[in-house]
Structure 1
Amino acid sequence: MSTANLTRSETAARSAAVTVRDYRVDLDLSGAREQSTDGFPTTTTVEFDSTTEETWLDFIGLSVESVTVNGVEVDAAYDGARLTLRGLAESNVVVVRASGAYSRSGEGLHRFVDPVDEQTYLYTQYEPADARRVFACFEQPDMKAPFTFVVTAPSGWEVISNRPVAAVETDGGHQRVEFSPTLPISTYITAIAAGPYVRVESSWTREELTVALGVLCRASLARHLDADTILTVTKQGLDFFAEQFDYPYPWGKYDQIFVPEYNLGAMENPGLVTFTESYVFRGAATAAQYEGRATTILHEMAHMWFGDLVTMVWWDDLWLKESFADYMGALASSEATEWTDAWVAFANRRKAWAYLQDQLPTTHPIVADITDLEAAKLNFDGITYAKGASVLKQLVAYVGRDEFFAGARRYFRTHAFGNTTLADLLTELSAGSGRDLAGWARAWLQTSGVSTLTLDGAEIAQTDPRPHRLAVGLYDFDTAGDLVRRDRVELDLDAERTPVDLPPAPLRLLNDGDLTYAKVRLDPDSLATVARSLDRVTDPLARGLIWSALWNAVRDGELEVDRFLRMARDFAPTEPNMALLTAVLANASFAINHYLPAGMRDRWRGEWLESCWATMHSSKPGAGAQLAWARATAAAATVDGRRAADIRQILLGEAPAPAGLALDPDLRWSLWTALAATGAANATDVDAELGRDATASGRTAHRRALSARPDAAVKAAAWASALTDTTLTNDHLDAVIDGFRAGGRRDLIARYDDEYFTVLRTVWEQRSIEIARRVVLGLFPATESLDQVDAWLTTHTDAPSALRRLVIEQRDHLARDLRVRGRTR
């Protein structure tokens, strides 16, 4: 095993022997604008106590220049990932002078040059273990310490870290910025950003506490930054959590920065939260996008307590922060902001992620068995986030909301600035609720899999039995013809079959209100009602649960794909909830391209494109629904070229766009990519579009469109680039892979199937895990057989477990495609 892949057992032994007292990290980023410079000087001074004479610091960089232990320079025993320290005393001061490498993959210290103004921007991203790419450290979450960061950077740049600036010295064209020491935190949530970012400032006050607020982004994006909206949500969230947690915000300031080429949605670095620039909307955006951003802002804010103040010991208990943050993000959105329907999006989209993940052969308990960092990297999944949040929602119903938050407050006070496990949390929640939660934890946190609930006559049947507290909604038509709930029956399930006395109703909806975590099926009469009258269900959460039930039944091969598509075609045009509409459009597109056999697929591709095209034109001008249907049109036109001439005329200004539809750069690129994928646009066309939008986003989209062209030489170049071009950034790699697969042209790309399986292990060994993961997932072949992947798994039982997990999951997705396709006639 590579020494870069830290294990749980060895890090536990290290933290038992070593107690960190303090870090001082000095980074010289003064040469960052010189693109010929690959790295930067980094000096770490770490003070720690030790009961062993030997340990190691983690560092992944270009070189280690010197190591001093207690004032004596020693030989650096450095293997590229670990720096061995010998001859330690009871108390130690170690100074490491080294050279770190600027990142192009979003891991460590990422460097980005804005093509609009040639300005350089830097930011860090560390979770789970990439702080060691910037400074030498004990890279594990349970070795918390105060950090003092000192950064040398060009004058005029914003330089930001977790804490406020303590002092600034200027010297010619450079500034040396020293930050106040942090409170004790883990390495993975330390953060630095530097560059000519534009800042918008505000503040939040509660009682005697005032917190400075900042919102930042690149200069060329500043005109698109709706900072006032972001700050409104931020203040609403701080009010909400101050009330619910009763623990003052501890991190001094609250900056939120939107950064380019970001691998995640966001990251909870205390005092400096980083977000993807996708949340800075360059053009029109739907209500679902604004709601999604608000929920993410509040998710990260919840981490200031769950994760930052109190941190898991090791990545087994990642859920201790992510499940809570996911739950709190939806709760705060629904109760503290204008997005009062946040639980609708959660029920229909977030839980769909959990249901998908929980049916894979690699599913795991919420409290997972994470033996090393490679496993941890892949555990940021639908189980840890969405299933965990769903289970917490049920826990709140089980113990009572007041008791739940009382337990959370005790948890913060007892373990502030420390590290915890599941047992610590259950102790506090049990004390407040008076319930023994050990049984609940065994049923929900320490098992895997999802139950399916079915109304079978006078009984509710469940697979994979678990204890559920749920409701059955009884819906009937009112005098206006709407389907409204006339009654609701709440009950507990814990067996395979539970008798239930339900009066007849046109629609009987299991898990009404989304109280539990389970897939539900509609009984035949309810399904018939829904197929005729789904648009008459007035409650958005009920509609969300119905759409979720339909989609799960499609994925499981129990509902005919074309029946689902007819309902999507009939009812999506009048769906008023943008989160539901966005999900239905995405699911319909996926079903057509994955679950239909070839003949039906071709017919439905054409029918779906025509439906999207017509609804785009008939939608209310300028409304979010019109934009959603325009994006769906672009997706449909990527695999069917019958509207290519019309789309081309609109893009070239030779025909009018639908009234009220803003052809912003992102939509234009989606449409040009569709034309390229069907052979209706060439390199000259997409080069001309780049002339209109030569921004970073435009350049990424340009790569995608070029790689989408249905030409054997183009696909060969894209394949070679994805596998061998190490200069590609993370975003550019995704663009090349997306373009390679665009249009579903198996006739052009099937020839690479054998090579994919040949190079898998080489890719995993030679690329960083983030880049390797993108290649493994993005280039996995959509074959008509499982033979090749099964052969690889059989002959590579010794492959790294994280790589095998990815391949096994992709195999399962393909097997589901083939299985559902085989049942469809």
Structure 2
Amino acid sequence: MNLFRPVAYSFFVLLLSACQSSYNSKSEKTTTVPPRAEDAYLSQEQAYLRSSRVSDVHYNLQFTLSESSQFSATSVIDFSLKDNSTPLTVDLNDAEINALMVNGKSVKPTYNKWFITLPAKSLNKGKNIVSISFTREHSTDGEGLHRFKDPVDDKVYLYSHFEPAAAQQMFALFDQPDLKATYTMSVSAPADWSVITAMKESRVEEKGQLKVWHFDETPKLSPYNFSLHAGPYKVWEDNNAKYPLRLFVRQSVAKQIKPSDWFKYTTQGLTFFENYYGVDYPFTKYDQVLVPDFLYGAMENAAAITFAEGSFLTNGEMSKSKRERLANVIMHEMAHQWFGNLVTMKWWNGLWLNESFAAFMATLATAEATEFTAAWRSFYTGGKQAAYRADQSVTTHPIEVAIPSTANAFDNIDAITYSKGASALNQLRHLLGKDTFRKGIHQYLSENAYKNAVLDDFIASLAKASNRSLDTWKDQWLYKAGVNTINVNFECVNNVISSFEIEQSTDIKFPTLREQKIQLALFNIKGDKLKQTKALPYIYKGQTTQVNELKGVQCPDLVYPNYEDWGFVKVQLDKASFKTAKQHVNKVEDPLLRSMLWQSLWDSVRDGQLSLNEYLDVAVNNISAESDYTILGQVISQLETSKTYLNKMYGLNNAYAKEMTQKLEELAWANTIKSSGSNMRRWFEAYRTITSSASSLSNLYTVLKGDEVIDGLVVNQDLRWDIIAQLNRYQYPNADKLITAELEKDSSDTGLKSAIYAEVIAPDEAIKTRWLAKIQQNDSELPFSKLRSAMTALYTSDQNSLDEKTADQRINSLASIDAANDHTFMRSYGRYLIPANCTSQSVKRLQKAADTLTELSSGTKRSLLVALQSDERCLMIKNKMTIK
């Protein structure tokens, strides 16, 4: 099923374009505004109608914060109104309104818990001032103004998260990105708290046990870029950079942070981005706040960026991969300070460009401004592979899609939005030239500073810089779904090439042939190395492109037609190159090419061209010779996924599965012992993840107890919890008691979540049933972050029989669960609790659900379709196995 039919999509875009043109008209003719739907969401039509009437918005906000579950606030909204012939809505979610004043007069609120409707008779044509005083419960699901009570010391911490449209959970406003505004704020809070927002505090008054923090007016910001964070945070400062830097974290986890890394990467990033963009950083300070229970990796709030604690806290030295991720995420959110905060999309259909550009720029900055010079290789093995998988999924979609309502803002936030978009931008940079691309970015930021912009503004800046039309490129790459495949056909006479062509193919459902600039690279075996003999930049388009420039070149042993990964395209190796790759992958000197060849082998498994057992033979026989940290992680990840497939296909008692598991355990343990540093830790993590045999579990237990000491391996608190979970997963004797004992040592928030995970992962039907009930009940007393920990552990790949016991119930209740919960909950529920068990029965069950559950939300429907496709792929891979 194609969720976005091209004809309907094109019509919707044309309709919205026509509407927007009429809304932006300078005509003084009164607009007839249809009534807004009585629900929690804002349609694009209503948003454009409102922004056609409202302008010059300023918010004066006063908050009273405490440790209680509620807060109180007053929003004073100063704005101009083009016409006052019809009512106007102001967004405010689930609050108790204490007073409403419109232009100095008290007005009885017309309020449905989602928005206030201001009567036309109370409004002025021109200047208006609306004051709304209210009380509201703090949120506990990561949106709005989230409250967290630390289980270690009972201290309370608050932070805000507004994307896509959750600012209304903290204050009354026009909650849409194209109504940029300035914000002035004062906050009353306990005296030992810090208060953080887009501006540095201008003054702080002491009032007994409280302090009142005052903040000057911000530059113009879209509502989702504004923020408020408060609590007794530990703070570090660094005033050695061009802008003052601060880092905030909860006091109980302060020892798990190394501030010098944060300040180093932040300083490197600010220098890089100011130089690259040619535009100064648009704010006066740079704060970063680590927060608990966060829904995402990080959020680019203007000058007050939030980061998920779980990704960046560490008990001991941070691994190389975590430090690279830290650098990359810092760069990603920093890129947004210009591209997203300084220049902001008009509506949520432009969210992809924000995220794609930040993902692209983060990789570029990490590679060129930090010690992680191989960042593009990390992008290739991580985000880009996720994008390829998403673009081959039944739920694929164009990069740019229509977003009819805020209810749909996150429907398509996935690897296509982030990594395919970033890849498209990267190949456009190669197509136009790096300097030309950079010039276009500078022009875009300069011309649209503190404004809202649309895709055509971005494309126009690049077209002007390159002096060429990009209309065809835009249509091919941004409005058409699907990934192309290229392969090469060549013939040789007397050991030289006599003919050479690039063939481009498409999925029958997505027939777009694209133009793209790539590098053709030819290699020959020379001694014990695979040496490059030719590299040729080339632009291909259409179904077949002749490459006459390669005639007469030495006949290659291997051709790779996307050398250095310029393009976004799947590569299908020709037969000779595929054979060379299988036999000589370790002879490739270039690490990126070596990585791409490993990926080609793995893709062949996923595409049904190579059996899983053949791939495993190649991997087991070659991976020990790999010393590159990034490639090692890539192949180990493929081995771990292979183990997951074996678990689902055969369970733990199948002869081949047991034999291969033993080989993988022995491989991981042997390489742990002989390796050192980051590679050793990577191998041990693979051993811990793969281990299921009694002897290897016993080995893990001796490491946990300290009886087995591996030189260079620090068994920190994080690793202790991981080992305990693995022991309980396979019912190692008394493993459940280890959880209780460990929780006495570590009762932190991380410890509580780890204990839940370790308990739920046990193959115990009673535990599974109890936790499934907790997850499925309405209004659970447990915060979502704890429920999410349980979801991830409930049914693992080796627990199919337990999974099947509740599979029908989970499918039959999916519609009611979906109706009772929001998109945040269902994103995790759909990913982890829709049963897909690699059997024909499972596939039939999922297919029936996809056919009959027509009322599911779009996000849950996507999760269901992805589960079905994954189950079908698992069966296909099983049927391709060539074991006896």
TM-score by length of 1: 0.95
Residue matched to 1:604: 660
Of the candidates 418, 424, 431, which is equivalent to residue 385 of structure 1?
A: 418
The CA distance in 1 between the partners of 2:40 and 2:657, in whole Å, is 46
Residue matched to 1:256: 288
Shift of 1:394: 1.0
Counterpart AA for 2:562:
N
The CA distance in 2 between the partners of 1:809 and 1:604, in whole Å, is 28
The CA distance in 2 between the partners of 1:647 and 1:687, in whole Å, is 18
Between 451-460 and 101-110, report the one with greater CA deviation: 451-460
Shift of 1:2: 6.8
Residue matched to 1:651: 704
Residue matched to 1:696: 749
Residue matched to 1:227: 259
Between 492-501 and 623-632, report the one with greater CA deviation: 492-501
Residue matched to 1:739: 793
Q: How does 1:616-655 map to 2 (within 5 A)?
A: 616-620=672-676, 623-637=677-691, 639-653=692-706, 655=707
Q: Secondary structure at the match of 1:786?
A: helix
The yes-or-no answer on 1:799 pairing with 2:856 is: yes
Residue matched to 1:42: 73
The CA distance in 2 between the partners of 1:379 and 1:177, in whole Å, is 39
Q: Give a deviation string over 1:736-774, Cα, whole Å, max 9, x none.
A: 112212363121221211221222232223223211221
Q: Secondary structure at the match of 1:597?
A: helix
Structure 1 residues 683 and 250, CA, compared in 2 at 3 Å: closer, same or farther? same
Of the candidates 631, 637, 655, which is equivalent to residue 580 of structure 1?
A: 631
Residue matched to 2:875: 818
Residue matched to 2:207: 171
Tell me, yes or no, if the aligned pair for 2:815 and 2:855 is still in contact at 8 Å. Answer: no
Residue matched to 1:434: 467
Residue matched to 2:772: 719
The yes-or-no answer on 1:59 pairing with 2:92 is: yes
Tell me, yes or no, if the aligned pair for 2:191 and 2:211 is still in contact at 8 Å. Answer: yes
The yes-or-no answer on 1:196 pairing with 2:222 is: no
Structure 1 residues 717 and 352, CA, compared in 2 at 3 Å: closer, same or farther? same
The yes-or-no answer on 1:662 pairing with 2:702 is: no
Shift of 1:683: 2.6
Shift of 1:262: 1.3
Structure 1 residues 798 and 393, CA, compared in 2 at 3 Å: closer, same or farther? same
Shift of 1:548: 2.4
Structure 1 residues 173 and 423, CA, compared in 2 at 3 Å: closer, same or farther? same
Of the candidates 99, 112, 124, which is equivalent to residue 160 of structure 2?
A: 124
The yes-or-no answer on 1:325 pairing with 2:378 is: no
Of the candidates 431, 447, 456, which is equivalent to residue 398 of structure 1?
A: 431
Structure 1 residues 663 and 2, CA, compared in 2 at 3 Å: closer, same or farther? farther
The CA distance in 2 between the partners of 1:720 and 1:84, in whole Å, is 40
Shift of 1:703: 0.5
Counterpart AA for 1:124:
S
Q: Secondary structure at the match of 2:413?
A: coil
The CA distance in 1 between the partners of 2:502 and 2:850, in whole Å, is 39
Shift of 1:478: 4.7
The yes-or-no answer on 1:484 pairing with 2:536 is: no
Between 712-721 and 810-819, report the one with greater CA deviation: 810-819
Between 512-521 and 655-664, report the one with greater CA deviation: 655-664
Of the candidates 505, 515, 522, which is equivalent to residue 467 of structure 1?
A: 515
Counterpart AA for 2:308:
T
Of the candidates 119, 124, 144, which is equivalent to residue 89 of structure 1?
A: 124
Of the candidates 656, 675, 679, which is equivalent to residue 727 of structure 2?
A: 675
Shift of 1:161: 0.6
Shift of 1:338: 1.0
Tell me, yes or no, if the aligned pair for 2:344 and 2:452 is still in contact at 8 Å. Answer: yes
TM-score by length of 2: 0.89
Q: Give a deviation string over 1:251-300, Cα, whole Å, max 9, x none.
A: 11101111112111111111111111122322343322211211111111
Shift of 1:204: 5.5
Shift of 1:698: 1.3
Tell me, yes or no, if the aligned pair for 1:330 and 1:346 is still in contact at 8 Å. Answer: yes
The CA distance in 1 between the partners of 2:718 and 2:185, in whole Å, is 38
Q: Secondary structure at the match of 2:181?
A: coil
The yes-or-no answer on 1:755 pairing with 2:809 is: yes
Shift of 1:810: 2.4
Structure 1 residues 574 and 126, CA, compared in 2 at 3 Å: closer, same or farther? farther
Q: CA RMSD in A?
A: 1.9
The yes-or-no answer on 1:499 pairing with 2:555 is: no
Shift of 1:641: 4.4
The CA distance in 1 between the partners of 2:38 and 2:796, in whole Å, is 35
Q: Give a deviation string over 1:596-626, Cα, whole Å, max 9, x none.
A: 7314444433332232222222222xx1111
Tell me, yes or no, if the aligned pair for 1:568 and 1:585 is still in contact at 8 Å. Answer: no
The CA distance in 2 between the partners of 1:71 and 1:759, in whole Å, is 51
Counterpart AA for 1:48:
F
Structure 1 residues 447 and 743, CA, compared in 2 at 3 Å: closer, same or farther? closer
The CA distance in 2 between the partners of 1:329 and 1:603, in whole Å, is 42
Tell me, yes or no, if the aligned pair for 1:353 and 1:382 is still in contact at 8 Å. Answer: yes
Counterpart AA for 1:731:
S
Between 270-279 and 11-20, report the one with greater CA deviation: 11-20
Of the candidates 815, 820, 823, which is equivalent to residue 766 of structure 1?
A: 820
Tell me, yes or no, if the aligned pair for 1:155 and 1:174 is still in contact at 8 Å. Answer: yes
Q: Secondary structure at the match of 1:181?
A: coil
Counterpart AA for 2:503:
A
Residue matched to 2:328: 295
Q: Give a deviation string over 1:531-570, Cα, whole Å, max 9, x none.
A: 2332232222112222222222222222221222233323
Residue matched to 1:237: 269
Counterpart AA for 2:147:
R
The CA distance in 2 between the partners of 1:719 and 1:793, in whole Å, is 22
Tell me, yes or no, if the aligned pair for 1:203 and 1:211 is still in contact at 8 Å. Answer: yes
Between 57-66 and 418-427, report the one with greater CA deviation: 57-66
Structure 1 residues 172 and 484, CA, compared in 2 at 3 Å: closer, same or farther? farther
The CA distance in 1 between the partners of 2:698 and 2:740, in whole Å, is 19
The CA distance in 1 between the partners of 2:70 and 2:873, in whole Å, is 46
Between 406-415 and 47-56, report the one with greater CA deviation: 47-56
Between 267-276 and 603-612, report the one with greater CA deviation: 603-612
Unaligned runs of 5+ in 2: 1-36, 491-499, 507-512
The CA distance in 2 between the partners of 1:758 and 1:178, in whole Å, is 53
Tell me, yes or no, if the aligned pair for 1:348 and 1:547 is still in contact at 8 Å. Answer: no
Tell me, yes or no, if the aligned pair for 1:286 and 1:578 is still in contact at 8 Å. Answer: no
Shift of 1:20: 4.5
Residue matched to 2:609: 558
Counterpart AA for 2:879:
G
The CA distance in 2 between the partners of 1:756 and 1:664, in whole Å, is 37
The yes-or-no answer on 1:147 pairing with 2:204 is: no
Structure 1 stretches of 4+ moved >4 Å: 639-642
Between 42-51 and 714-723, report the one with greater CA deviation: 42-51
Q: Secondary structure at the match of 1:201?
A: strand
Tell me, yes or no, if the aligned pair for 2:57 and 2:179 is still in contact at 8 Å. Answer: no
The CA distance in 2 between the partners of 1:759 and 1:6, in whole Å, is 28
Residue matched to 1:528: 579
Shift of 1:642: 4.3
Residue matched to 2:4: none
Structure 1 residues 565 and 42, CA, compared in 2 at 3 Å: closer, same or farther? farther
Counterpart AA for 1:665:
Q
- Number of residues of Structure 1 aligned to a counterpart in Structure 2: 811
Residue matched to 1:448: 481
Q: How does 1:11-22 map to 2 (within 5 A)?
A: 11-22=47-58
Tell me, yes or no, if the aligned pair for 2:836 and 2:867 is still in contact at 8 Å. Answer: no
Structure 1 residues 395 and 74, CA, compared in 2 at 3 Å: closer, same or farther? same
The CA distance in 1 between the partners of 2:790 and 2:584, in whole Å, is 43
